[in-house]
Every structure is written in C-alpha cells, then in structure tokens.
C-alpha cells in the first residue's frame, strides 16, 4: 500500500485535458513539495514536475502541476497519444525522512 | 548531461546478497545525494535508500536493515547491497540522483534500470 494515493487509471481522447490527483498527509505533501514522474512501459521514470509546479527543461508546457494543502494534481492539456504512460506522484515524508511515492496512475489515450 | 548506468547480476539465489553498482558521468558523486529505487514487476515504485558522501543516509524501514549503500568516489560509482534476499526482492532496480533544497526533494536523473530476479 502506497503512502500517497492516486487513482489507478485515467483516460481521455486526443486534445482533451486530463487531471490526475495525489493525496497525502501533513507529514509529506503538507510539509514539502511534490514531484511527478512519467514512465513509459519498459523505460525508467522521467521527471516531469518538481517543486509542485516546475517543469524541467524539455518538458512541454502541456504538463502542469499544482498543490493545495495535502493534495496535489497533475494536469495534461492537449492530450496526445504519446502521453499514454504511467504517472507517479512523489513527496518527502518528514517522519520517514525519505521519499514516498503514489501507487501510479495508468493514463490511456482513447 | 548527467548519466547513470546500473550494473550487476540479473539472477540472485534466495538468502544471498544482491549487489548492484551505479556508474555516474556528468556529475560528481561527492556533491549530491544518490538513491536506489525498485519496482516489482507490474507494481509501483519503492524507495530503498539514499546516501551522501558526507555521511547523510537513510533507508526504507520496511527493508529491516538489509540494505547498505556506499560510494566509491575514485570510480565515480555508488553501490547497493541487499542481504538475505527472497522472491519478494525481485524487481527492476533503478539508481537515481536525489536533488534537494529547502523543502524540495526529487529524483532528477535516473538510470535505465536493471532487472534482478531472486530464484534458485
């Protein structure tokens, strides 16, 4: 059972906007920033968002992140077929003094 | 460009010690935190531990002290040893750089991963 809670699946059609939620607690999301990772099957996770809403160089601005209290969200606008992947949220837990991950959300582009 | 590459046996026998190395290029292993994350087949990501050359380190308590991470600055590598493995330790193992500042913590560079199977 993952420390952070994500929906197991999400879907959308090309061009649509999709959001993926991530719920935690005061010791992780409530106290520290959230990051998001994209994992295409068979490959390593790739950093998509850091610091709640910062995109590393090379990540399209179609991807955006936000945080409020102990929850966070990843939004993808203008959905494309290549966005089909697993998405993981992550935070830092002050009790564990280590990273915690969500269980992952499988995004299907219909 | 920072690059990481895992290496080590793909098959380990139950009760033995899993040993993996991660070669780093494009960054100094002395100046950052480095970590190991694993992913059992068909499942999500699990943090194993992280380590800094100055001595800061921590491990997932679920591993019950079986994991040890060390750094070899002369080879620009860091390593993972996981003792007393069972079939539950079968996973793809990733090494990654842990970026930290104030309240920000995230893994910014990852290796491609290596599958380790625990089986007799």
- Model confidence band, residue B64 (pLDDT cutoffs 50, 70, 90): confident
Q: Is B67 exposed, middle or buried (0-12, 13-18, 19+ CB in 10 A)?
A: middle
Residues of chain B contacting A55 with CB distance shorter than 8 Å: none
- Pairs of residues, one from chain A and one from chain B, whose beta carbons lie less than 8 Å apart: 70
Question: What pLDDT shows up at residue A79?
Answer: 98
Nearest Cα residue to A18 out of A85, A95, A74: A74
What is the C-alpha separation between A15 and A68, in angstroms, rounded?
A: 26
Give the pLDDT confidence of A16-42 residue by residue, as tens digits.
999 999 999 999 999 999 999 999 999
Contact across the interface for A104 and B45, Cβ inside 8 Å: yes
Residues 6+ apart with CB under 8 A from B52: B32, B33, B34
Q: Which residues of A touch B (CB under 8 A)?
A: 2, 31-33, 35, 37, 43-47, 50-51, 56, 88, 90-92, 96-104
The strand pairing partners of B114, in sequence order, are B93
Cα–Cα distance measured from residue B110 to residue B94, given in angstroms and rounded to the nearest whole number? 7
pLDDT(B55) > 80: no
Total residue length of chain A? 110
Mutate to test the interface with A, among B39, B61, B105 (most CBs of A within 10 A): B105
Give me the pLDDT at residue B103, please. Answer: 77
Buried b (16+ CB within 10 A) or exposed e, A22-38: bbbbebbbebbbbbbbb
Q: Alpha helix locations (H) across chain B?
A: none
- Six-digit token pair at A48? 């998509």
Provide mean pLDDT across the span B92-99.
97
Contact A61, B115 (CB under 8 A): no
What pLDDT band is residue A97 in, cutting at 50, 70 and 90? Answer: very high
Q: Counting Cβ atoms within 10 Å, is residue B27 exposed (0-12), middle (13-18) or buried (19+)?
A: middle
Q: Which residue of A has its CA nearest to B43?
A: A103
- What's the average model confidence in pLDDT over A88-110? 96
Q: Give the model's pLDDT for residue B104.
A: 86
The confidence band for B117, taking pLDDT boundaries of 50, 70 and 90, is very high
Q: How close are the terminal C-alpha atoms of chain A, in Å?
A: 28
Of B44, B106, B110, the CB nearest to A103: B44
Q: Give just the sign of the alpha carbon dihedral A103, A106, B2, B8.
A: positive
Which residue shows structure tokens 């990772």? A37
d(CA B51, CA B45): 18
Interface check for B46 against chain A (CB to CB < 8 A): the answer is yes
Tokens linked to B71: 């750094």
Smallest CA–CA distance, residue B48 to chain A, in Å, is 9
Query: What mean pLDDT do residues B46-71 have?
Result: 92
Q: How much is the pLDDT for B38?
A: 98
B98 at interface of A, judged by CB pairs closer than 8 A: yes
Chain B residues lying within 8 Å of A56, measured CB to CB: 108
* CA dist list (Å): B22 to A12, B25, B70, B73: 38, 10, 10, 12
**Is pLDDT of B29 > 90?**
yes
Chain B nearest CA to A40, separation (Å): 12
């Amino acid at each position: 059972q993952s420390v952070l809670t994500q929906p197991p699946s999400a879907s959308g059609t090309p061009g649509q906007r999709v959001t993926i939620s991530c719920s935690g607690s005061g010791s992780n999301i409530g106290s520290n920033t959230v990051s998001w990772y994209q994992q295409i099957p068979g490959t390593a996770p790739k950093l998509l968002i850091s610091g709640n809403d910062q995109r590393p160089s090379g990540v399209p601005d179609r991807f955006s992140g936000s945080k409020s209290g102990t929850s966070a969200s990843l939004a993808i606008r203008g959905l494309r077929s290549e966005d089909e992947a697993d998405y993981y949220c992550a935070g830092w837990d002050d009790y564990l003094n280590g990273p915690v991950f969500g269980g992952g959300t499988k995004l299907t582009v219909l | 460009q920072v690059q990481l590459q895992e290496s080590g046996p793909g098959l380990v026998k139950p009760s033995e010690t899993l040993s993996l190395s991660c070669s780093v290029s494009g960054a100094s292993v002395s100046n950052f935190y480095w970590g190991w994350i694993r992913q059992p087949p068909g499942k999500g990501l699990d943090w194993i531990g992280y380590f800094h050359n100055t001595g800061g380190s921590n491990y997932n308590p679920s591993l019950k002290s079986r994991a040890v991470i060390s750094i070899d600055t002369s080879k620009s590598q860091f390593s993972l040893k996981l003792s007393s493995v069972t079939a539950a330790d079968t996973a793809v193992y990733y090494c990654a750089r842990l970026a930290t500042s104030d309240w920000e913590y995230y893994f910014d560079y990852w290796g491609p991963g290596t599958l380790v199977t625990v089986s007799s």
